[in-house]
Amino acid sequence: MTDLKVVCGKKSVRLCSAVLLSVVLCLFSQAVFGSPDDPPKVEIVTKTVRDGIANANYVSAAFEATGGKRPYTWTATGLPEGLSFGDSDIIHGKTSQSGNFPLVITVTDNSKPTPAKATVNLTLKITPKGGS
């Protein structure tokens, strides 16, 4: 194989083309796939939550996430009294409150030593029973 001279500023080094190819492929794969040391990324796919009616049973669709390491842990803040997220990925319960409730949904993956997190801001609209 042919030796190549690589110049960086005032320094230069001779590399055989096989070594140079290995370096280029390594840099390319890190650019495309990330370094093995990069923290895993998790993303919440669910971007909406269905509306509900006060004093009626409410069950949301399951929240979905991609990436990271399963199992995921889900939390929600801003839920009206009577609704909960529990240990699942579904909001459920019955509330007597009506209005627009800003929610912050957070998913945490199971990566060690540092779990990855993602959040999404949503609005839950609960209308009065028989109203709009």
pTM exceeds 0.75 for this model: no
What is the predicted pLDDT for the residue at 97? 97
Q: What is the dihedral of CA 93, 98, 104, 110, to 10 degrees?
A: 0
For residue 124, what pLDDT band results from cuts at 50, 70 and 90? very high
Query: What residue spans of 1-132 are helical by DSSP H?
Result: 17-33
For residue 17, what pLDDT band results from cuts at 50, 70 and 90? low
Instruction: State the Cα–Cα distance between residues 64 and 62, nearest whole angstrom.
Output: 6
What is the predicted pLDDT for the residue at 125? 98
Task: Give residue-wise pLDDT tens across range 46-83.
Answer: 999 999 999 999 999 999 999 999 999 999 999 999 99
Domains and CATH numbers, the chain: 3-33 (no CATH), 42-127 (2.60.40.10)
Is it true that the peptide bond before 128 is cis, omega within 30 degrees of 0?
A: no
